[in-house]
Chain A
């Protein structure tokens, strides 16, 4: 059903033929491998997703997510569009997520593509501090390079300074094109500005970039995203090779062909391929939590046992969520009531 002829990538599959067979046969029931596991997706663009995705995330054990501010696909033409988008991330989207019992955090920043509109970028820089101080804003992000222009560099540097001043972690988007040099340059600039590498999460890594990122003491994030970024079979091999320390995985699910369940699916594949439960927990939950909790804005007790324990959400002592927990719809039912 969810098989895709383009999906297998034999040149990178380093397991045995038997492993490959197992991985292909059980693909549709991956849930049985991750029962009881909890996940933290530190990069997912929920404004671009449907409520069905929230339901699926909750069912698969995702308890907390981080939504980085990014490019909407359509360029913004005025400051108000940025302001309303940032307000959505700390307001409406946060509420939407809470209806499914998922704790929603975000990072706020001027993305690299729109850094190229200098007049607008200047205005956006002025309102960033206002949003970066908000409750539940766990970093500056996603920022970095796209085309690696001079303007991109200017605003990357300015936002690194802002992060340093405010004591916030930085979520760095590394470019799709000329990735290796772009990643090195992003790290060098961060070090030049005096950022502690453990406050910087270098995102969208691959086999070619990971070693240098880890060697220099940065967090290395991997985006499991079909076709253009990492596949999860390759991810398993990376964890086998480098171990779980300072590594985290994310879905970066957005308006493109992407998969919000990338973390639970990758965790299932790791489990099947013999990676220890504790290592799976580190790369799919704990390391992301540790990295972004450096903002002082994450309280694990708010979500680890489900969001109902947040007293402020209780309704007159009753367990009905004040916001109204979204009623579940049986998707297999033909009847709609």
Chain B
């Protein structure tokens, strides 16, 4: 089964028969009609959250693809976009057509387009779109490129990747939803995160506790004092993060530090960082 067929199968698990009829009818049409159908989707497909049965199919269609938070109309739009590359279009025509959809997109259309990026043809052609979405102040657009989306980890440069992670923290969103967080982790990112934490501390603000997980592979004696500071934090989450970093690091000085504070440090839970994979908004709505 190719990607569009798999997407249709996923849709079949939740769509009503008349929604499927509409999709079947539209999927037989040429590329121009497909773009029009892409726009018209909410008139014909219900805006329901995806059911678990549908969600579970994402990763088998594309590794590290996660549809958590998607609605049925978004999935239908991604399906219609996946059909465009099966039409008889030159590379130039195809890119022009998709770019027109991006340029004139309404909010939910933008979200669907960024969600579809990993299955569009000519992946490099969408690089500027993807890095622009990271710059976006529209939360939904940022989420669509950042979370559950395998495109950044596959195609982003180190610089673009590091901006994605930093922007995510800056936007007060939990980083564990980014696919490829461990694989693409790097020393430059860790150094920037340490500087960032110092800025936050200077302003009497904190850094979401799970961010410290990124330090583990690059922990060195120079950045170790940051972990010692966490041990003394008022926040139980920070103290847990410190315990986890020290437990997972292979740095001998980390073992010494863990030994020194063995009575203060909380026990390491079996779910490890899972306990800290939650929103920790720094700027609380009053």
Contacts and interface: CB of A to CB of B under 8 A. Distances in A.
Tell whether A pairs with B.
Answer: yes
Contact of A91 (B47, B138, B173): B138
A312 B47 contact: yes
A134 B109 contact: yes
Interface stretch (B16-24, B100-108, B232-240): B100-108
Interface centre among B39, B74, B281, B285, by most A CB within 10 Å? B285
Interface centre among A135, A326, A327, by most B CB within 10 Å? A135
B286 A330 contact: yes
Contact of A329 (B104, B105, B108, B286): B286
Contacts of A117: none
A244 to B, nearest CB: 31
B53 to A, nearest CB: 17
B68 interface: yes
A78 interface: no
Interface string B147-176: 000000000000000000000000111000
B285 A328 contact: yes
Contact of A327 (B36, B69, B286): B286
Nearest to A91: B107
Contacts of B106: 90-91, 94, 134-137
Given A321-B139, A322-B140, A327 B283 contact: yes
Interface in B237-286: 279, 281, 283-286
A193 interface: no
A87 B104 CA distance: 6
Interface in B67-119: 68-69, 71, 74, 103-110
Interface in A126-144: 127, 130-131, 133-137
Contacts of A86: 104
A95 interface: yes
Contacts of B279: 315, 318, 320
B255 to A, nearest CB: 36
Contacts of B36: 133
Interface in A101-157: 127, 130-131, 133-137
A335 to B, nearest CB: 12
Contact of B103 (A83, A92, A316): A83
B285 A323 contact: no
Interface residues of A, number: 34
User: Interface range on chain B: under 10, 10 to 19, 20 to 34, or 35 or more?
Assistant: 20 to 34
B228 to A, nearest CB: 27
A9 interface: no
B69 A296 contact: no
A323 B140 contact: yes
A32 B104 CA distance: 43
A24 interface: no
Interface string B32-76: 000010011011000111000000000000000000110100100
A243 interface: no
Given A133-B39, A328-B286, A91 B139 contact: no
B103 A324 contact: no
B143 interface: yes
Interface centre among A127, A312, A314, by most B CB within 10 Å? A312
Contacts of B103: 83, 87
A83 B281 contact: no
Contacts of B71: 311-312
A135 to B, nearest CB: 5
A325 interface: yes
Nearest to B101: A130
Contacts of A320: 279, 281
B69 A315 contact: yes
Contacts of B284: 327
A90 B107 contact: yes
Contact of B172 (A92, A324, A330): A324
A95 B286 contact: no
A131 B104 CA distance: 7
B283 to A, nearest CB: 5
Nearest to B100: A130
Interface centre among B36, B139, B286, by most A CB within 10 Å? B139
Contact of B108 (A130, A135, A321, A322): A135
Contact of B69 (A130, A316, A325): A316
A154 to B, nearest CB: 25
A324 B171 contact: yes
B138 A83 contact: no
Given A91-B105, A325-B285, A327-B286, A316 B138 contact: no
A45 B84 CA distance: 37
Contacts of A91: 105-107, 110, 138
Contact of B143 (A87, A137, A311, A322): A322
A135 B42 contact: yes
Contacts of A330: 286
Contacts of A318: 279
Contacts of A130: 39, 104
Contacts of A315: 69, 279
Nearest to B278: A318
A87 B140 contact: no
A82 B178 CA distance: 35
Interface in A58-98: 83, 86-87, 90-92, 94-95
15 contacts: A83-B104, A87-B104, A91-B107, A95-B107, A135-B42, A137-B106, A311-B49, A316-B68, A320-B279, A322-B139, A323-B138, A324-B139, A324-B171, A327-B283, A327-B285
Given A87-B103, A87-B104, 11 more contacts: A83-B104, A91-B138, A94-B106, A95-B107, A133-B36, A296-B43, A311-B48, A312-B74, A322-B139, A324-B172, A327-B284
Minimum-distance CB pairs A-B, first 6: A323-B139, A90-B106, A134-B106, A328-B286, A327-B285, A95-B138
